[in-house]
Chains A and B, each alone.
Chain A
């Protein structure tokens, strides 16, 4: 079973920030938080990952709470092309460690 809980769906207005929450209250000390997204009929696309500190890249920002029990993925200026299913995954960074995907959050960016 997935170790994360995400809302099944969210809407966001185009041009606004999209804030996608993820609860991972049972996360272990050696587990990273990964975010992927899947646009219809394509493979999942890596967005960002982090361990403790907040992270930012060209796609998004990841805010992890101090107790590491939850995180938020922020898409600063959502576009229609950001409409996708977003998956939050916790996983240790070990060889052979697989990703356990939950159902994710279906984000709809509205014009």
Chain B
């Protein structure tokens, strides 16, 4: 079975631009969560979606938004990029939207803002 797939794998953007990151969950998984991981730190929670509804939101500015599609794939959008947005963006999927079955993470999108 395919795991969680994220695209693109690497991306370079300029300050002030907009970026869209994509995530396809494991087949049968209805929940997608997004995390930001700055170099040298643990991942930080951004959003969770379950059955196309936002179920949780971390402490990130409104420049960050996300949505989940009927096929359970998800997009993370970041507007007005700042240098500090440079990070590894991770997507995690789960069957139920809870941790009881374990979240499966993708390999991430490495975003560099210059």
Chain A residues with a Cβ under 8 A of chain B: 2, 32, 34, 36, 41-46, 49, 87, 91, 93-104
Q: How large is the interface on B (under 10, 10 to 19, 20 to 34, 35 or more residues)?
A: 20 to 34
Given contacts A42-B107, A44-B105, 16 further A-B contacts (CB under 8 A): A34-B99, A34-B102, A43-B90, A43-B92, A43-B107, A43-B108, A44-B92, A45-B105, A46-B102, A95-B50, A96-B48, A96-B55, A96-B56, A96-B97, A98-B45, A99-B103
Residues of A within 8 A of B48 (CB): 96, 98
B44, B45, B96, B106: which contacts A43 (Cβ < 8 A)?
B106
Q: Which of B25-41 contact A (CB under 8 A)?
A: 33, 35, 41
B42: interface (CB < 8 Å): yes
Residues of B within 8 A of A94 (CB): 98
Q: With A44-B105, A87-B42, A98-B33 in contact, is A93–B99 under 8 Å at CB?
A: yes
* Interface residue SS majority, chain A: loop
Which residue of B has the minimal Cβ distance to A101? B42
Chain B residues with a Cβ under 8 A of chain A: 4, 33, 35, 41-45, 48, 50, 55-56, 58, 90, 92, 96-100, 102-108
Which residue of A has the minimal Cβ distance to B58? A98
| A96-B99 Cα distance, complex, nearest whole Å | 10
| A43-B92 Cα distance, complex, nearest whole Å | 9
- Could you tell me the distance in whole angstroms from the C-beta of A43 to the nearest C-beta in chain B? 3
| A43-B105 Cα distance, complex, nearest whole Å | 5
| A84-B48 Cα distance, complex, nearest whole Å | 26
Residues of A within 8 A of B98 (CB): 93-95, 97
| A96-B108 Cα distance, complex, nearest whole Å | 21
| A97-B58 Cα distance, complex, nearest whole Å | 10
